Amino acid sequence: MDSRRSARTVSDPKVRQVGFFTPAAPPERTCSDPPRQQDLIQPQPPSSTQVNDHSPSGDSLSPVMIPPPPHHHSDTLLRTALQVTSPKTAFSYSAKTVTIPAENDDVPSSLSPSRKVVTVRSPSSYPGVRASSVPASELTTVSVVNLPPGISEKAGGASVEVQNDRPVSSKSLKEKTSKAERRALQEAQRAAKAAAKGEGTKASSAATKVVTSANTKPSKAAKPSSQKNDGSQFAASEKKAGDRAPEKDRKKDAPHPRMQYDDTSRVEKAKKRAVVKQTEVRNRVELFRHLPQYEHGTQLPDLETKFFELDPMHHAIYKVGLQYLSGDIQGGNARCIAMFQAFKEAIKDYSTPPEKTLIRDLTARISSYVSFLIECRPLSISMGNAIKFLKNRIAKLPLALSESEAKATLMSDIDRFINEKIIVAEKVIVKHAVTKIRDGDVLLTYGASSAVEMILLHAHELGKQFRVVVVDSRPKLGGQLLLRRLVRKGLSCTYTHVNAVSCIMQEVTRVFLGASSVLSNGTVYSRVGTACVAMVAHAFRVPVLVCCEAYKFHERVQLDSICFNELGNPDAISKVRGREDINYLDGFVNRENLQLLNLVYDATPSDYVSMIITDYGMIPPTSVPVIVREYRREHLWS
Amino acid sequence: MWWRSASFILDRQQHQNNGVAPNPESLLLSSPPPSMADSALNPKSDVSAYYQSRASHHAVVTSDWLDQAQAAVDRHTDDGDSLGSDGIAAPISGGGEESGKAFSVIDEFNNWRKQPDLAEAVAAIRALAAVIRTSEATTMMELEIELKKASDSLKSWDATSISLTAGCDLFMRYVTRTSALEYEDFNSAKSRLIERAEKFGEISCKARRIIAMLSQDFIFDGCTILVHGFSRVVLEVLKTAAENKKLFRVLCTEGRPDRTGLRFSNELAKLDVPVKLLIDSAVAYSMDEVDMVFVGADGVVESGGIINMMGTFQIALVAHNMNKPVYVAAESYKFARHYPLDQKDMAPALRPIDFGVPIPSKVEVETSARDYTPPQYLSLLFTDLGVLTPSVISDELIQLYL
């Protein structure tokens, strides 16, 4: 109800809009710097047609922006953009590609495939892949971390020029390079990559790389089709070396909780390690390529057969993982508790292998469990916090403690966490929230939130007279479960789908929402559709109360629901269960020009949230960072 | 201005009763003393203590109001008197002892309140400090319970006054959440508590001065300031500005029905500040010549919004719409752990309104005395903790209370 900063509201939707444009709509995407691109296009060899360009770019990386058409490469040289989060990410990737080739001078000869790597166009390989083809780990780091100016300086003469005055120099460079030259360059690049594989570090080469990269681009563009097939493999293998270093750097300042799935090298690596074989869905929506999306239902049989082979995985973990996978356990708290119970069992059965220390070995063990769970389903933010807590407890164990004592301590810590942070917290939230329910209220809730359910039931027990509107949405229809429980207890309920929320909102006096997480800018990260409900409520001046335990708070800031999200099963939205007559999409699912997007979460800007009810009381969304600052340290890290 | 503080009228009535020959009500003394809960609670009436004090201060006396106030106050004096006698006499009922103590707090509170310029919350703080001093408790726990009871009875004495509640809560926090409680020796712990209590009282007393100093940077020569209601802090701010030879003009709203604006303009006229009076409905009309809006607050709530005299919200809306800054001057002891979601989401403080003509009984009258101004309409809050944006309020509150 109280929008704290009204100005901000406007900008958000725009960003989202951009996301849903199909690759065919270049003007929108390119808007970041249209003039430059046009300049660039001209110099490029005729062979690279616009059409071709689009497809690769479409594959491309950037989570935030739609991938710019390929001619960007030259463009991107100049601006080595920073990270995934920055709107220019697309550029950053391409920038990497550019820098790669640097070493023609050093290693003139060697391999032919280098080109292919660069130009990979198969749908599965995303621009990230190309980026990953960077040879030396250090190089990548440079490009990723440093701002454009820094690079240019390092890169030495030619590159500097290119970067400083983009349009002119880049053009000229391209024009100058003859075919032979380009060839040489590419070979050099290949060599560099090969070298990089071996050594992993070649900072010195950075200077030359920039230049070469500029040159190479045209050639890439020219040969789009042939390379598709082999490209991905090369890229994957080569990238491994290159990507590590930047990873480390990133972790220092802001750890990325999740893998970027458009970063092929890492995906490949992860796949090798993976226990669960996931098949990736073919057609994915541009903006969300960095998120994992798998064909559902394919993994289970595979996992089952492996059940007895996997000794490192504790059976309890295995069970929980399967439950995540199949969707038997849903909801932040339930998942978190289930995970902790499984960890508890695993710890109970744990014995330190000889010549290892419990602290280190157990941490590693937990990490492997966690990565297994991530394979089953991406972690929620609350689970991430809980894991952080557990690992911290392990790390803080006194060395003198015997194994059994240590295990007992950990198990009691886990119990304490579940009890204090989840169960008691929820009770406190209920206590607070009930004070905001008055007789005659009409309360609206969306989806199924355990906290909201408890609030409603408790208020009903207190004899308050109110009505409940349960708003639900396909495909999960979690609201029906909530509705069932409420109706059984005798509450008077209305059930509707989110499509009707604007109609029903005018009679509503309070909106109670659950949350998967609350981020430190007050953004509420919750079940997809929540933002919609909150916005409608805001428009109708209905106060929006978000109920969220403080352990779900996260210090991250998120402005949209694109960077971090989860993709659900696309089949769930393309098919309607029990309605055989609605089969319009049968057989269309694998069409190239059809992309299905089933998002699981969305981000509600804090402007639409009137109040956040947590176990520390009722606070405005602007105070989330205060809670994070004051209490997180104390509870998680003490 | 002490007579303005909430609930003053109760004492005045009480004192009159005491001074004058015994009136019929005193007969009730013979009846058994009511339980503490009853006595501590302000009698349920149409008129909140909050308003009674205002009314007494502004001398808005109508026959209608007199009736209501009389009814309310009589009941209260009964309680008070009987309790008073109870305090002196030996405790009669089981709860007698407690009620005796409770009364002594309120008594003390009332004594403090008679000091001019002492805010209600500060009086409460002083009274609570006195409780510690006079306490006969022998353990820390006992003392704490005693203190808690005292503050509860103070709070329930006028549940509608936000600053009283907030002041009591803050005192409890400030005093009891201290290492003093870990002292082995009870006496040293107690003296430390007293010390802290005194210190807190002093801080609260100085708050107004600090705010006045802080706000000087915001008043520039030639500005026009719109004020609403009678706030001692705002008056102090403007007084300081006038003493600093700043040239400014003040527009005062009339402040119906209490006519607070009239009083405020009187005060300003004494300072030779050019003042213009507006009727309340002329705010939007004259907003374009206003450079800033200055209001006080009855309470500052956790969202960063304020609860203040009726009409503040609409002034803030108009100012917000015309891009004029709205400044709030409020001492930090007015920060309360409330979070109203909308106007109706708070304990209403009712007041009678005199329309000058009889109102048909079928016509309903909105008698709420306060409204809630959400944070997005406020620019800055001047507090003794510094000049804060609304969102910092919650930060401060969390640090104070959690």
Query: Which tokens hold the place of B203?
Result: 């801080």
Largest CA distance in chain B: 67
Q: Considering CB atoms only, which of A436, A543, A620 is closest to B302? A: A620
Query: Are the beta carbons of A75 and A33 closer than 8 angstroms?
Result: yes
Best interface-test mutation with A: which of B169, B301, B302, B303 has the largest number of A CBs within 10 A?
B303
What is the chain B residue with the closest CA to A433? B339
From CA B255, how far away is CA B260, in angstroms rounded?
A: 5
Query: Are the beta carbons of A561 and A601 closer than 8 angstroms?
Result: yes
Question: Which residues 59-118 in chain A show a CB within 8 A of chain B?
Answer: none
From CA B340, how far away is CA B363, in angstroms rounded?
A: 28
CB spacing of A543 vs B341 below 8 angstroms: yes
Task: Give residue-wise pLDDT tens across range B28-84.
Answer: 333 333 344 344 444 444 555 555 554 444 444 445 544 544 554 444 444 444 333
Is B37 in the A-facing interface, judged by CB distances under 8 Å?
no
Query: Which tokens hold the place of A133?
Result: 């083809």
Q: By three-state DSSP, how is residue A116 classified?
A: helix
Query: Which tokens hold the place of A540?
Result: 């109708």
Cβ neighbors of A103 (< 8 A, separation 6 or more) are A135, A188, A189, A191, A192, A195, A202, A205, A208, A209, A212
Query: Which tokens hold the place of A295?
Result: 């064909």
Q: By three-state DSSP, how is residue B387 classified?
A: strand
| A2 chain-B contacts, CB cut-off 8 A | 303, 305, 374-376
Task: Give me the mean pLDDT over the A151-157 stretch.
Answer: 42
What is the chain B residue with the closest CA to A625? B395
CB spacing of B303 vs A611 below 8 angstroms: yes
From CA A428, how far away is CA A618, in angstroms rounded?
A: 10
Query: Which tokens hold the place of A290?
Result: 């960095």
Cβ neighbors of A471 (< 8 A, separation 6 or more) are A444, A445, A446, A447, A479, A496, A497, A498, A500, A501, A504, A529, A533
Confidence of residue A271 (pLDDT cuts 50, 70, 90): low
Rounded to a whole number of angstroms, the distance from the CA of B178 to the nearest CA of chain A is 18
Question: B86 or B311: which carries more pLDDT confidence?
Answer: B311
From CA B133, how far away is CA B38, in angstroms rounded?
A: 26
Q: Where are the alpha helices (DSSP H) in B89-161?
A: 96-113, 120-134, 140-157
Query: Which tokens hold the place of B163?
Result: 């600053």
| B348 chain-A contacts, CB cut-off 8 A | none
Query: Which tokens hold the place of A157?
Result: 């003469």
Rounded to a whole number of angstroms, the distance from the CA of B343 to the nearest CA of chain A is 12
Is A496 in the B-facing interface, judged by CB distances under 8 Å?
no
| A623 chain-B contacts, CB cut-off 8 A | 391, 394-395, 398
What pLDDT, on a 0 to 100 scale, did the predictor assign at position A198? 52
What is the chain A residue with the closest CA to B396? A626
CB spacing of B376 vs A2 below 8 angstroms: yes
Confidence of residue B116 (pLDDT cuts 50, 70, 90): low
Is B305 in the A-facing interface, judged by CB distances under 8 Å?
yes
> How large a percentage of chain A has pLDDT more than 70?
53
What pLDDT, on a 0 to 100 scale, did the predictor assign at position A523? 93
Is A544 in the B-facing interface, judged by CB distances under 8 Å?
no
Does the CA dihedral B215-B218-B219-B223 come out positive or negative? negative
Half-sphere exposure of A221 (CA within 13 A, CB side): 29
Is A428 in the B-facing interface, judged by CB distances under 8 Å?
no
Determine the residue type at A28. E
CB spacing of B402 vs A545 below 8 angstroms: no
Name the burial class of residue A580, with classes exposed (0-12), middle (13-18) and buried (19+) by CB atoms within 10 angstroms of its CB. exposed
Question: A141 or B382: which carries more pLDDT confidence?
Answer: B382
Q: Considering CB atoms only, which of A5, A623, A631 is closest to B394? A: A623
Shortest CA distance to A125 belongs to which of A220, A245, A14, A4?
A220
Question: A615 or A283: which carries more pLDDT confidence?
Answer: A615
Task: Give me the mean pLDDT over the B284-302 stretch.
Answer: 93
From CA A100, how far away is CA A188, in angstroms rounded?
A: 10
Query: Are the beta carbons of A262 and A311 closer than 8 angstroms?
Result: no
Instruction: Give CA separation, A503 vs A443, A471, A530, in Å.
Output: 14, 12, 16
CB spacing of B303 vs A617 below 8 angstroms: no
Confidence of residue A400 (pLDDT cuts 50, 70, 90): confident
Task: Count the Cβ atoms, other than its own, within 10 Å of residue A491.
Answer: 18
CB spacing of A436 vs B394 below 8 angstroms: no
Query: Are the beta carbons of A318 and A345 closer than 8 angstroms?
Result: no
What pLDDT, on a 0 to 100 scale, did the predictor assign at position A634? 59
What is the chain A residue with the closest CA to B399? A630
Residue B197 parent element (H or E) = helix B186-215
Query: Are the beta carbons of A222 and A120 closer than 8 angstroms?
Result: no
What pLDDT, on a 0 to 100 scale, did the predictor assign at position A141? 37
* Residue A524 clears pLDDT 90, i.e. is over it: yes
> How large a percentage of chain A has pLDDT more than 90?
26
Query: Which tokens hold the place of A53?
Result: 């360009």
Is B340 in the A-facing interface, judged by CB distances under 8 Å?
no
What pLDDT, on a 0 to 100 scale, did the predictor assign at position A451? 92
Q: By three-state DSSP, how is residue A478 classified?
A: coil
CA angle A627, A632, A636 (to 5 degrees): 160
Q: Considering CB atoms only, which of B341, B376, B402 is closest to A616? A: B402
Shortest CA distance to B215 belongs to which of B297, B327, B323?
B327
Q: By three-state DSSP, how is residue B372 classified?
A: strand
What pLDDT, on a 0 to 100 scale, did the predictor assign at position A26? 42
Residue A604 parent element (H or E) = strand A601-604
Task: Give me the mean pLDDT over the B256-277 stretch.
Answer: 90
Instruction: Give CA separation, B127 vs A286, A591, B151, B164, B169, in Å.
Output: 67, 79, 9, 12, 13
| B337 chain-A contacts, CB cut-off 8 A | 617
Number of H-type helices and E-type strands within chain B: 14, 10
B274 cis-preceded (ω within 30 degrees of 0)? no
Query: Are the beta carbons of B372 and B346 closer than 8 angstroms?
Result: yes
Cβ neighbors of A330 (< 8 A, separation 6 or more) are A476, A478
Question: A278 or A412: which carries more pLDDT confidence?
Answer: A412
Q: Considering CB atoms only, which of B341, B399, B401 is closest to A1? A: B341
| A613 chain-B contacts, CB cut-off 8 A | none
What pLDDT, on a 0 to 100 scale, did the predictor assign at position B218? 93
| A433 chain-B contacts, CB cut-off 8 A | none
Question: A593 or A96: which carries more pLDDT confidence?
Answer: A593
Task: Give residue-wise pLDDT tens across range A29-77.
Answer: 434 444 444 444 444 444 444 444 444 443 444 344 444 444 444 444 4
Is B376 in the A-facing interface, judged by CB distances under 8 Å?
yes
Query: Are the beta carbons of B211 and B276 closer than 8 angstroms?
Result: no
Question: Token pair 């009846």 is at which residue?
Answer: B31
| B399 chain-A contacts, CB cut-off 8 A | 626, 630
Task: Give me the mean pLDDT over the A324-343 stretch.
Answer: 88
Rounded to a whole number of angstroms, the distance from the CA of A513 to the nearest CA of chain B is 15
Question: A65 or A451: which carries more pLDDT confidence?
Answer: A451
CA angle A484, A516, A269 (to 5 degrees): 120
Is B246 in the A-facing interface, judged by CB distances under 8 Å?
no
From CA A189, how far away is CA B260, in angstroms rounded?
A: 82
What pLDDT, on a 0 to 100 scale, did the predictor assign at position A111? 43
Phi then psi dihedrals of residue B357, to 5 deg: -125, 155
* Rg, chain A, Cα only: 26
Confidence of residue A194 (pLDDT cuts 50, 70, 90): low
| B305 chain-A contacts, CB cut-off 8 A | 2
Pairing of strands A510-514, A441-446: parallel
Name the burial class of residue A208, with classes exposed (0-12), middle (13-18) and buried (19+) by CB atoms within 10 angstroms of its CB. buried
What is the chain A residue with the closest CA to B345? A436
* Residue A288 clears pLDDT 70, i.e. is over it: yes
Specify which of A26-30, A273-277, B197-201, B357-361 reaches the highest per-range mean pLDDT: B357-361
Question: Token pair 């002892």 is at which residue?
Answer: B97
Pairing of strands B292-295, A544-547: unpaired
What pLDDT, on a 0 to 100 scale, did the predictor assign at position B178? 59
What pLDDT, on a 0 to 100 scale, did the predictor assign at position B181? 54
What is the chain A residue with the closest CA to B392? A623
Determine the residue type at A111. L
Show the 3-state SS of A409-449.
HHHHHHHHHHHHHHHHHHHHHHHHHHCCCCCCEEEEEECCC
**Entry pTM:** 0.65
Q: By three-state DSSP, how is residue A513 classified?
A: strand
Instruction: Give CA separation, B6 vs A249, A366, B71, in Å.
Output: 61, 61, 17
Determine the residue type at A513. L
Rounded to a whole number of angstroms, the distance from the CA of A521 to the nearest CA of chain B is 12
CB spacing of B342 vs A630 below 8 angstroms: no
CB spacing of B342 vs A622 below 8 angstroms: no
Shortest CA distance to B200 belongs to which of B141, B136, B151?
B151
CB spacing of B341 vs A6 below 8 angstroms: no
CB spacing of B395 vs A623 below 8 angstroms: yes
Question: A395 or B91: which carries more pLDDT confidence?
Answer: A395
Specify which of A371-380, A625-634, B316-325 reaches the highest per-range mean pLDDT: B316-325
Question: B245 or B74: which carries more pLDDT confidence?
Answer: B245
CB spacing of B342 vs A619 below 8 angstroms: no
Cβ neighbors of A143 (< 8 A, separation 6 or more) are A80, A92, A95, A96, A98, A99, A134, A151
Shortest CA distance to B18 belongs to which of B6, B116, B38, B10?
B10
Quote the mean pLDDT of chain A: 68
Is A409 in the B-facing interface, judged by CB distances under 8 Å?
no
Shortest CA distance to A195 belongs to which of A182, A207, A180, A205?
A205
- Number of A to B CB contacts under 8 A, please give it: 62
Q: Considering CB atoms only, which of A438, A545, A630 is closest to B398? A: A630
Confidence of residue A462 (pLDDT cuts 50, 70, 90): very high
Instruction: Give CA separation, B137 vs B142, B146, B187, in Å.
Output: 6, 8, 10
Rounded to a whole number of angstroms, the distance from the CA of A257 to the nearest CA of chain B is 28
Instruction: Kindly list the strands in the beta sheet with A544-547, ordered across the sheet, starting from the edge strand earlier in the chain.
Output: A492-497, A466-472, A441-446, A510-514, A544-547, A611-614, A617-619
Rounded to a whole number of angstroms, the distance from the CA of A561 to the nearest CA of chain B is 25
- A172-186, A265-279, B102-116, B134-148 — which is least confidently predicted? A172-186
Task: Give residue-wise pLDDT tens across range A577-601.
Answer: 777 787 787 777 777 788 888 888 9
Question: B101 or B270: which carries more pLDDT confidence?
Answer: B270
Query: Which tokens hold the place of A634?
Result: 């104390």
CB spacing of B341 vs A5 below 8 angstroms: no
Quote the mean pLDDT of chain B: 75
Query: Are the beta carbons of A527 and A601 closer than 8 angstroms?
Result: yes
| A619 chain-B contacts, CB cut-off 8 A | 302, 339, 394, 398
Rounded to a whole number of angstroms, the distance from the CA of A625 to the nearest CA of chain B is 9
From CA B397, how far away is CA A126, in angstroms rounded?
A: 49
What pLDDT, on a 0 to 100 scale, did the predictor assign at position A166? 44
Task: Give me the mean pLDDT over the A518-528 stretch.
Answer: 92
Query: Which tokens hold the place of B164?
Result: 């009283």
The alpha carbon of residue A482 and the mean position of all alpha carbons in its chain are separated, in whole angstroms, by 29
Best interface-test mutation with A: which of B302, B389, B395, B396 has the largest number of A CBs within 10 A?
B395
From CA A94, how far away is CA A81, in angstroms rounded?
A: 9
Is A6 in the B-facing interface, judged by CB distances under 8 Å?
yes
